[in-house]
Amino acid sequence: NQWAGLMRSGRLWTPDPHFNAAVDAARLVAVRAVQHLRTGWAPSTRRTLEVGALVQAWDAIDPIISRNLLAHLRRATAQGDGRLPMLLTVHPKEPALAATPADLPAYNTGYLAALHRHFQQHGDDAWLAEHGPALAACAEALVRLRWEAPAAATPAAQAWIAAGLGHAVALADLLDDAVNAERWRGELAQMAQVAAAPGATVPEVFSFDGWAARYGWHAGSAAQLWRFDDDLAAARLAGDAVFQGCGLRRHGDLLTVAPTWPPAWGWWALLGLGMTDGKRLSLLWDGATLHATQPVVSALPVRLWQRIQIHGVDEFDFNPYFELTPPSHSGDTAQRERFRPIFHI
């Protein structure tokens, strides 16, 4: 059914069962945290600040939902003259609750950062061009804020502005918008002494050490009841595990894979990751070869297959193995292969 298919989409398997359980729980949190309003897709809380983390999670589940969330922010930006509201409205004609000048930098930067990250993970020039006017309006609102409300430009707000303009410059370069890119670089040059705000940027490499504490995953009141402290941290884990852990990046028409998992891991797999063109990508690293269902570029040896599936994962009969189906043009001599993983208990 549709729910089961959603839960299987982009599912990550590693030798660490505890980590697998956390990522699965994080995906469930992200799926439950969105809803479709009359104005578009939005966080269930309608808080604009939550969209970035949810886009990161949904990029690993269904990137079309990510694009719908970002499209809602695009429309809200146009309605607010570049100033995103605190809450996304339920009805199209409902007045938006404006963000204060002190809070606006975090809201606008959240949108620009989510745009930039989504492009890196599911890059599409035509899609990014649709957001061109909105991202320019957001960046200009950040620039104006420095002069129109200097009393609200606290060190933290200035840091968010610098981070937002950094994303805006990168996006303008991608759009070949040299005029705006140069203007915003000039603004950044005046802010060169401002440090990046906490949370404005994210590391490109997933650090497995201390992941549970970093994402707030711990035991609850019962010894076996594990949970997240914060739903947004859970959403970030769902996306970071796939795109930083597996090292997936889109470069034009090329998809690169540069995993950052612990060297001791002898295998890992990512199954059925949805792409914006409707295709799905499955990957399996067996310790020697990176098996893939779509062409990828990697420093690892790559072998293409038509399908990579996992079997034997029933709740009461857990004895998993991966089955690899060769491409249909391989001929009658091509045989299916199996790989049986070993988990670290």
Residue 258's φ and ψ, nearest 5 degrees, are -140, 80
Neighbours of 314 (CB within 10 A): 9
Residue 94 makes CB contacts below 8 A (sequence gap 6+) with none
Q: What is the pLDDT of residue 7?
A: 81
**For 24, how many CA atoms within 13 A lie in the half-sphere containing its CB?**
14
CB 310 within 8 A of CB 13: yes
CB 80 within 8 A of CB 98: yes
Neighbours of 40 (CB within 10 A): 18
CB 281 within 8 A of CB 295: no
Q: What is the spatial distance between Cα 112 and Cα 39, in angstroms, rounded to a whole number?
A: 20
The residue whose two tokens read 């420095």 is 146
Residue 295 makes CB contacts below 8 A (sequence gap 6+) with 255, 304
Element (H, E) at 317: strand 317-325
Count of positions (residues) in the chain: 345
CB 133 within 8 A of CB 177: no
Q: What is the spatial distance between Cα 162 and Cα 164, in angstroms, rounded to a whole number?
A: 5
Q: What is the pLDDT of residue 191?
A: 82
CB 258 within 8 A of CB 247: yes
Q: What is the spatial distance between Cα 112 and Cα 133, in angstroms, rounded to a whole number?
A: 12
Residue 313's φ and ψ, nearest 5 degrees, are -115, 25
Amino acid identity for residue 322 in this structure: F
Residue 102 makes CB contacts below 8 A (sequence gap 6+) with 152, 154, 157
Q: What is the spatial distance between Cα 288 and Cα 230, in angstroms, rounded to a whole number?
A: 37
Write down the pTM of the prediction: 0.92
Q: Is 293 helix (H, G, I), strand (E, B) or coil?
A: coil
Copy the structure tokens of residue 286.
């067996």
Element (H, E) at 161: helix 155-174
CB 103 within 8 A of CB 160: no
CB 46 within 8 A of CB 35: no
Q: What is the pLDDT of residue 8?
A: 85
Angle at 203 between CA 199 and CA 209, to 5 degrees: 105
Of 171, 165, 119, the C-alpha closest to 141 is: 165
Q: What is the pLDDT of residue 194?
A: 47
**pLDDT by residue, tens only, the chain of 345 residues:** 677 788 889 999 999 999 999 999 999 999 999 999 999 999 999 999 999 999 999 999 999 999 999 999 999 999 999 999 999 999 998 989 888 888 999 999 999 999 999 999 998 999 999 999 999 999 999 999 888 887 667 888 888 999 999 999 999 999 999 999 999 999 999 887 544 444 344 445 578 889 999 999 987 666 567 889 999 999 999 999 999 999 999 988 899 999 999 999 999 999 999 999 999 999 999 999 999 999 999 999 999 999 999 999 987 888 999 999 998 875 555 689 999 999 987
CB 196 within 8 A of CB 158: no
CB 108 within 8 A of CB 131: no
Q: What is the pLDDT of residue 330?
A: 59
